[in-house]
Amino acid sequence: MKPLFKYIDYRVFLEDFYHDKKRSMRCFSYRYFAQKAGVKSPIFLKQVIDGKRNLTRRMIEQFIPALNFNKKEALFFKNLVLFNQAKNAVEKQEHYSVMLSMMDYVNEHQITADQYLYFEKWSTGVIRELICLYDFKDDCELIAGSLRPPIKTGDVKKAIALLLRLKLVARQNDGTYRQTNAAIISSDPMVALARRSFNSEMLTLARNANEAVLPEERNISGITMGISKACYDVLLAEMAAFKERVKVIVNQDERSSRVYQLNLQLFPLSRDVAEIPAAGKGRQPCAE
């Protein structure tokens, strides 16, 4: 079986572990493992593998010696389990970041890891745009202070190194940077997770801009409306077409002087009426 650090699903790992041990140890069974882990149910491991049971933090600690993990493996396994069982994106990202720092990447995995890092911080994409608009002469402190809000100098250095590694920017002979035609396109679930976190950060920045940025320098507006699923699909197509038109306009702009973020959101603010229980069944009236 492959090393623990190559797994992103702990149930798959446990299934592979079970079959591997079954082949190499005649006496190995679900009951045998339960005894080693101090678990009363002889089929607990099978229930976990089948997705019928989760591992609590206490149970994770009981599994670790039964799996014969060293200290590093134990830490990775704990975060792997908590990552898989996390209830929200923030928790998932927290545990995946620990896993990411411990993974022994082979070459084909490195791009996915870097793509994850690209979306992990909102500032990376901004830096990509900004260093190609102005010659900062590699003054990372100046770059850090030019973002809104400002960031740490060390984060600027990491971002530029990542951008160069991903070939999203190229350093020219005179020390300036230019954007390449490279783009990040990945269906990897970890990159999708990072994108979700990125979008959340941008929504927070938009909310802050609504208060901190002068009205003539920002435009924040919205429409509250009732629509059908068919209308929703049409609006998605219109939004996609609009984004394509924005790209054309921006690509023709030869006097760019500032980095902006354009957000487009379309999300539900109520339940679907088909899912709402029948009205008038003794519930509290709206008006007396």
Q: Is residue 8 part of a domain?
A: yes
pTM: 0.62
Angle formed by the axes of helices 153-165 and 123-130, to 10°? 80
Q: What is the SS3 string spanning 14-27? A: HHHHHHHHHHHCCC
Res 241: pLDDT = 86
**Burial degree of 88 (CB within 10 A; 0-12, 13-18, 19+):** exposed
Residue corresponding to tokens 């954007």: 179
| Residue 148 CB neighbours (<10 A) | 14
Res 104: pLDDT = 54
Q: Is residue 190 part of a domain?
A: no
Q: Is residue 12 part of a domain?
A: yes
Res 105: pLDDT = 43
Res 186: pLDDT = 60
Q: Is residue 67 part of a domain?
A: yes
What is the per-residue pLDDT across 88-131, written as a single tens digit (0 to 9) for each? 777 887 888 788 777 754 334 455 677 778 888 899 999 999 99
CATH number at residue 69: 1.10.260
Q: Is residue 68 part of a domain?
A: yes
Q: In sequence order, what are the residues at sequence separation of 6 or more whose Cβ sits closer than 8 angstroms to the Cβ of residue 37?
A: 44, 45, 59, 62, 63, 65, 66
Structurally, the chain folds into a number of domains equal to 1
Ranges of residues in the chain whose predicted pLDDT is under 70: 104-112, 182-190, 282-283, 288
CA 36 to mean position of chain CA atoms? 36
Q: Is residue 42 part of a domain?
A: yes
Res 33: pLDDT = 95
Q: Is residue 61 part of a domain?
A: yes
Provide the domain limits for residue 45: 4-87
Q: Is residue 101 part of a domain?
A: no
Res 177: pLDDT = 95
What is the per-residue pLDDT across 199-220, written as a single tens digit (0 to 9) for each? 888 999 999 999 999 999 999 9
Between CA 7 and CA 76 the distance in angstroms is 10
